[in-house]
Amino acid sequence: MASSNPQTRSFDEFIHQSELPVLVDFWADWCGPCKMMEPIIKDVAKSMKGQLKVIKVNVDQKQHIAARYQVRGIPTFILFDNGEPVWQTSGAMPAHALKQQLQAHL
């Protein structure tokens, strides 16, 4: 899917060209559960290094990307493999639960 928006293009290029699956954290500054998940996402990125990459997408700044993937609530997490979404969930959860769900799709 080609796009004339350079920010969308760089997002698309990143998720399509990554050698590893990419976990995208859709979040916003004003979201309490998103703030709760921040240290958990950092832990997941660190402990699963070499298995996946993690990026954050601020839904207020990148509404077009959130809309494309029908993100209706935040935090929402989507795992992309070869540019395609393979898993998605919403809401806060403990690190072990998130890692367990991700492992099932790696």
Q: Is 68 a catalytic residue?
A: no
- Catalytic one among 15, 22, 23, 31? 31
Helix, strand, or coil (residue 70): coil
The letter for the amino acid at 97 is A
Helix ranges, the chain (H): 6-17, 32-47, 63-68, 95-103
Q: Is 100 a catalytic residue?
A: no
- Catalytic one among 15, 22, 24, 34? 34
Catalytic residue IDs = 31, 34
